[in-house]
Chains A and B, each alone.
Chain A
Amino acid sequence: MKVQRNKRRVGFTLVELMMSAGCASLMLAAVLSAGVALQRSFAAVEGYSLAEGDQLRIQDYIAMDCRRAVSATRDNGSWTYSSNVWSWVSDPNGAATLTVTVPNYYDTNGNPVDPTYNPTGAIQYGGATTTISYYKSGSSFMRQIGFDPTKAKAIATNVASFTVNDQDLTSRVTCSITFSPRFVYLPGPGPINGTTVYSNTFLRNAVARQ
């Protein structure tokens, strides 16, 4: 038996190969570019979403606590632990801290208590108060209930600065928080410096407003 050798050779010419290779390269480059752009866009959107979430959260926290506060103070300093007690120590080089005082609305079981009038004619809940502090620690923004800083919780990240306006705090609190940019690649003008949000809240329980 004689085996017929298939002598027919099918293939592309060199020109075809070069053209197809060129087209393929262009398509691959386009796909890669589009992919990179999409990823960049996704990263930008993700960064924006996270940043907006942080900004809204801080504003909502501060607004909620200021609205229910009976007083507010600002100072630079830190908490120090001495004689088994945490206490505030002022220090011009310390972190700018906003401290609001809110009524003790809850009993020890976490249930709301009834309001009463104190001897000066102001509303009180249980007769005591709780302090809530806000300050920047590293790049985190902290919310601290009470005096123990070890129990403070970060409520936002990527914070560059925190400023409480120097003003009479008996009736309102105005503060600003600047966030570092999360997505720094921007063509043209380059990365932005950051985003600053402002909060201006009246102290609804302050004596000055009654």
Chain B
Amino acid sequence: MSALVRGLLQPLMLPAHALALLAFGLLIGQQRVPWRLLALAAFVAGLAGGLAAIALAVGQTPAADVLLAAAGLAGLLVAIGRPPPALACVLLAAVAGMALGLDSPPEAISIAVATTMLIGTALGASLALALVVAGASYVGAQKWAAPRIGMRVLGSWIAASALLVLALRFARGQLF
């Protein structure tokens, strides 16, 4: 498998990353159009920043825990069914993007392969998030309530999963 494809798939293969992308896709999809695009852009900018920091060989960070906490919060906000203020959503998306980037160190020996993987990760995560946002905004615009309720149920599942994992990490002394 090429480095680009490995990078593309990485956000989908790591459960915590996939969970965060789903949570933020659902959350951003609830926003009105200009803010929706801004939140998406903030996530991508944060992601690029995080990946750039990785490329500059930043040290150990609590990015994994921050990402899970952000995903849990996003899931909770989706479950509650009341979208947060747009600016808060944008900031949260930027933090999540940054955390996802910082938590995606490529497993590669050469710099060229590592860089290609990082580019792949940026593309994969951005594309996956955009797809979920598009799906969530489409579902949110429908008159039929069931899919919207389904999204809220999904949000509650994400929040519950994230909370359990954070507690487990805390109990094992691995949190932050």
> Do chains A and B interact in one complex?
no
Listed in ascending order, the chain B residues whose CB lies under 8 Å from chain A are none
Chain A residues with a Cβ under 8 A of chain B: none
